[in-house]
Chains A and B, each alone.
Chain A
Amino acid sequence: MKVMYVAGLMAALTIPAAAASAQAVTDPQIAAIVVTANQVDIDAGKLAAAHANNPEVKKFGELMAADHAGVNKSATELVTKLKVTPQNNPTSESLKDGGVKNVAHLKTLKGAAFDKAYVDQEVAYHTAVLDAVDKTLIPNASNAELKALLVKVRPAFVAHLEHAKQIQATLGGAH
């Protein structure tokens, strides 16, 4: 179940990368992808903050909820200022569906199984998001301020990925 979700999320984020050369993603589409991607991780983070067993996982969930909310606040302010209306697209819809499925799956788990599933998912999610940011979102952003926002938040995603991997290593278990 988890594996299926991760694969789905990876596919959602890599579709535009594959299509980028032929079909650029527009700024309104990028705005929808950014806002949805952040919201997905806020929802999962809030769940982990409430339900994780391991204190480090709980703290990480709180951090994800706070950081991605901060990014979304700025992204929303920027697109409002730029008068860009986020436009849903296959990538943002897939992200949204994947996020809903992930939360539903996590809710069926408890204790160490929840912690591991959440952290594994966070590693996969941030890996996929960074790939999309680098290959699709930044290259296709036409507005300079939108591009600058993506460049500014990218290192936070790198930090999140490293942090998630550190926790993943301490949780151990089979992959």
Chain B
Amino acid sequence: MNPGWRRDAVAAVWVAAVAGAGWTGTALAARAPSKAKPATHTVTIDATSYAPARLTVHPGDTVVWVNKDLIPHTATAKGGGFDSKVLAAGASFRLTVKAKAGIDYACLFHPTMKGRIDVE
């Protein structure tokens, strides 16, 4: 079984729960996204870093963080917005981007880990 499924479910709940507020707020009220089909982007967590550390996406795209490291990490937006919670080694977290603004995120456990998603 893909260990990411449970996280996916959690992420889906999050998107629904915070719709209309915070980072995803503008997105749900926005027009249909551009004609391009939504893409899925993968951010690999390895050796206590995010790769790519900076990612540009379009509204409607999905970002999946996959923890390929040996230790637990998180992907947690600064000032709220999204939080993967604890991602054990091998776990993943899926987020559908609804916002139109970029956001910085970090690992709650390892302050040296920093990432950013730009939305255009």
Contacts and interface: CB of A to CB of B under 8 A. Distances in A.
A138 interface: no
Interface string A63-85: 10011001101100000000000
Interface residues of B, number: 15
B70 A152 contact: yes
Contacts of A151: 47
B70 A159 contact: no
B68 to A, nearest CB: 9
Contacts, number: 50
Which label, helix, strand, loop or mixed, suits the secondary structure of the B interface?
loop
A73 B110 contact: no
Range of interface residues on A (Cβ < 8 Å)? 20 to 34
B111 A166 contact: yes
B49 interface: yes
A112 interface: no
Given A70-B89, A155-B48, A156-B48, A162 B112 contact: yes
Given A63-B109, A67-B109, A73-B70, A152 B46 contact: yes
Interface string B25-53: 00000000000000000000011110000
Which label, helix, strand, loop or mixed, suits the secondary structure of the A interface?
helix
Contacts of A154: 47
B49 A155 contact: yes
A158 interface: yes
A153 interface: yes
A151 B49 CA distance: 13
16 contacts: A63-B109, A70-B71, A70-B89, A71-B71, A152-B69, A152-B70, A153-B47, A155-B48, A156-B47, A156-B48, A156-B69, A156-B71, A158-B112, A159-B48, A159-B113, A163-B110
Interface of B: 46-49, 69-72, 89, 107, 109-113
Closest 4 CB pairs of A and B: A159-B110, A155-B48, A70-B71, A159-B112
